Structure 1
């Protein structure tokens, strides 16, 4: 996607037509399947979406990994954000790659290892802007993934879209990123079957009905989709299941498990495969990287952050550490991170100069 955007800005032949400026809109948490299933609540977007207007997100299909891939143009194996929570191997400390940058001592300049699309834009003479919520302006995740962009904030989705369009129109040749997290937030808290999720979808769809300035190309996509996890599909690991495990990272739809140094890896993996038979797929770090799950190339520093074993629930299940002191995450309805089409198929819709 990144190469296509820069080809459109430079006028080179590519999959996108030439555009005076480009706006990249990311609707967090909106999968292509979920969007089409609720087309009546997103008539503007679905009216402009053909069967071919889809893309495939990365693995893990979670914001820390997938949004970083959108904003760098590379797989997690190259940028290094391998999931929601991973171990910092230098400190043997479990860190949150979305919200834990400051509290857990991650350096945004080095922990995220790839140049951003904004740095690339600036290096080739294009303006670079990011539009989001004010609360995110100085976060570690923003500083890691939006290096090189001038950040601007608006509270309402419609105002964020209007500002992004205005920046694109006023700054010829620019790349403008617009982030809309409302659908993801509603899905996590209430689920995709809720009136709150539908209202968030309608609000975002209305925001994107605004007129696109002449000559501006708009790409509307998402970092991942989502599925609802009912309470009966929660898989809770007790102390017996966790024997030999020193850290449980990742998230409920994609677990990174890190072994105690004295544990026998083959015994633990065999036990997890037996315990989770029919419920989840279990793989070692080497098996996952050899299968290309994190991309065709995995840097050594990124590989060191991957769990010794991974567990990906089948269907709409979710895995929880039942021994953890904080069990609030088990109240989350909408979830993502796994390999299902609902989580990995995302829309890729062109508006303005990119419309069909």
Structure 2
């Protein structure tokens, strides 16, 4: 028996998918940190992979962030970049926007949502896979890495607003200052470094500690150039779990029942062979139930993990069985064995993955 319960996302109140509508003035803002209320301009900084656990447990690396007002909120499920960033920008749950994992089964093939590639054919039009207008159709300036400008994933979750690409962190800071000083009421900015370092080196490495210290310095510098009537609001798409090499588990117990895998290492969708869904569920529960929350597609939807009222397209994309890791393990997709080189992972519903910061501080420039 799994000794802990999953942290089910909040979709109808203070949670990551409600943040953008609230910042745009739709709905009750009483749950937002006080510094972002009545601000002339808001800079939303999304730091990929910086979960609440890192902020709570490592104040020595994060003294600036530790001084911010606010606390933790829940991200979405799966707790992974494609799903969560799209929920931030669209303001809806994965059940509605449809980017339900790192790799998604779309029209009979598995789409890598971040590289926006199929293995066997041309990729789809991003707006046909994710149909919800980002930023509720408003023109919100986006400050993110320059090389993301033409990617399919960028078109899926950031289309419609002016794009300002940064090459270095100093230009991220400079663009946010410039746009705020020009009067933009809301600016969306994104930094991926914490997630990248965690995946390569793990959460217990000196490299990860150094990256946290670097991020804190970056935030301090950003605060110093923002005016006092501008609020810096900081959040993340997900937290992380450290994964040792031997904790990447194969799926040999169910391989004869699985047609294909999708999703993430810690939120693995298993698409059954025709007519074998019930056999797959029973076998997966026996083989992996001590290390994961094993759910059928129907149970996943009934429990609302992906959000309310899933679209027909989303229902088709979900595997017949889902393995959501509860222990510090991840499940290897046989078609993506290189994923097992990652030293941290996310996607599941543990507190370390699901709890993300929602913090705010006014700019320090007079």
The aligned runs of 1:25-174 (5 Å cut-off) are 25-49=45-69, 52-88=70-106, 90=107, 92-101=108-117, 104-117=122-135, 119-122=136-139, 128-170=140-182, 172-174=183-185
1:61/1:54 CA distance change after superposition, 3 Å:
same
2:329 corresponds to 1:317: yes
What is the TM-score with the length of structure 2 in the denominator? Answer: 0.87
Equivalent residue, structure 2, for 1:125: none
Pair 1:259-2:275 in alignment = no
What's the counterpart of residue 227 of structure 2?
Answer: 213
Q: Which residue of 1 aligns with 2:12?
A: none
Question: What's the counterpart of residue 14 of structure 2?
Answer: none
8 Å CA contact 2:146, 2:166 repeated in 1 = yes
For the residues of structure 1 that align with 2:97 and 2:194, how far apart are their CA atoms? 26
* Partner-residue secondary structure (3-state), 2:76: coil
Please give the alpha-carbon distance, in whole angstroms, between the structure 2 residues aligned to 1:11 and 1:5: 10
Q: Distance in 2 between matches of 1:121 and 1:213?
A: 24
Q: Which runs of 5+ in 2 are unaligned?
A: 1-18
Any runs of at least 4 consecutive aligned residues in structure 1 with deviations exceeding 2 A, and if so which?
A: 10-16, 100-104, 119-122, 155-159, 231-234
Measure the CA separation in 1 of the matches of 2:349 and 2:279.
25
1:248 aligns with 2:261: yes
Q: Which residue of 1 aligns with 2:345?
A: 335
> Structure 2: how far apart are the matches of 1:114 and 1:312?
26
Contact 1:169 1:216 in 2 (8 A): no
> Aligned-pair distance for 1:11?
12
The match for 1:190 among 183, 187, 201 is 201
Tell me, yes or no, if the aligned pair for 2:80 and 2:347 is still in contact at 8 Å. yes
What secondary structure sits across from 1:219 in the alignment?
strand
Alpha-carbon distance in 1 for matches of 2:233, 2:111: 32
Q: For residue 353 of structure 1, report the CA deviation from its aligned partner.
A: 6.8
**TM-score using structure 1 length:** 0.89
Distance in 1, Cα, partners of 2:90 & 2:154: 12
Displacement of 1:75 in angstroms is 0.4
Alignment partners' CA distance in 1, 2:105 and 2:96: 17
Most deviating of 331-340 and 229-238: 229-238
Matched, 1:19 2:30: no
CA distance in 1, matches of 2:160, 2:138: 8
Q: Deviations over 1:150-203 (max 9, x none)?
A: 111222224312311221121x24321110100000000001111211222111
Among residues 284, 289, 293, which one is paired with 1:281 in the alignment?
Answer: 293
Task: Name structure 1 gaps, 5 residues minimum.
Answer: 123-127
Query: 2:68, 2:289 → 1: CA distance?
Result: 42
Range moving further from structure 2, 161-170 or 132-141: 161-170
Counterpart residue number, 2:21: 3
Q: Provide the rounded CA distance (Å) in 1 between the counterparts of 2:30 and 2:257.
A: 54
For residue 308 of structure 1, report the CA deviation from its aligned partner: 1.0
Q: Secondary structure at the match of 2:228?
A: coil
CA RMSD between the two structures:
2.2
Pair 1:202-2:222 in alignment: no
Checking the alignment, whether the CA contact within 8 Å between 1:101 and 1:107 is kept in structure 2 is: no
| Separation of aligned partners in 1, 2:357 and 2:292 | 27
- Give, in whole Å, the separation in 1 of the partners of 2:254 and 2:233: 45
